[in-house]
Amino acid sequence: DSGVTQTPKHLITATGQRVTLRCSPRSGDLSVYWYQQSLDQGLQFLIQYYNGEERAKGNILERFSAQQFPDLHSELNLSSLELGDSALYFCASSVGIASNSPLHFGNGTRLTVT
Amino acid sequence: DQQVKQNSPSLSVQEGRISILNCDYTNSMFDYFLWYKKYPAEGPTFLISISSIKDKNEDGRFTVFLNKSAKHLSLHIVPSQPGDSAVYFCAASGYYGGSQGNLIFGKGTKLSVKP
């Protein structure tokens, strides 16, 4: 158990809809990262927050947004969903800012857009 | 453009033998490399890492080798066990722009260890 909790585990929704994925980081970790894994793809970095502030952005679409709350949990909002957004979405956390400290991943949310 | 490449999607090895998983990278700014292991329905789990100032790092049955001139790293598992069957991701990051960049992952190699 990594200590990172993601909810829900599975989500099935229709195109055009909006969903929110939730992540609780490991106790003591201040950084939260979101990754997307599509079929046969590696993990694509989306966005990082550190102690409530956006720290880095990767390949995140404008239809997607995220935030980290004062209690350090994070939410990833996906809107105007398209079929291609179907993927596994992973949240990870680490103690500090630098990515050369190992990330601890949750078990992911599998999003299916129909 | 893939900066971290794992060219073998799958690898099958007999129990007790050596497993060698390979990874190539293109960005010379990468200075930190990690391997993650992923079982089905779980998130990736950190396995082992290596800094660019080293060429080898060992942890039990797992050894990572780094060849900077070739921009190549490999993970050796000796001896391989059926429980090692999983997808292995190579990841890299570099210090540029005044901060440590985020991890760039390869697409993974699925290792099957047969009893």
User: At residue B98, does pLDDT exceed 80?
Assistant: no
One digit per residue, the tens of pLDDT, for chain A of length 114 reads 889 999 999 999 999 999 999 999 999 999 999 999 988 778 899 999 999 999 888 889 999 999 999 999 999 999 999 999 999 999 999 987 765 678 899 999 999 999
**Per-residue model confidence as pLDDT tens digits over B2-59:** 789 999 999 999 999 999 999 999 988 898 999 999 999 899 999 999 999 999 999 9
Q: Tokens 């994070």 appear where?
A: A74
Distance from CA of A105 to the nearest CA of B (A): 5
Helix (H, G, I), strand (E, B) or coil at A85: helix
Q: Which residue of B has its CA nearest to A41?
A: B107
| Interstrand relation of A109-113 and A10-13 (parallel, antiparallel or unpaired) | parallel
Q: What is the 3-state secondary structure (H, E, C) of B67-106?
A: ECCCCEEEEEECCCCHHHCEEEEEEEEEEECCEECCCEEC
Interface of B with A (CB under 8 A): 4, 6, 31-32, 34, 36, 41-46, 49, 51, 89, 91, 93, 99-108
CA distance B40 to A37: 13
Hey, what amino acid is at B38? K
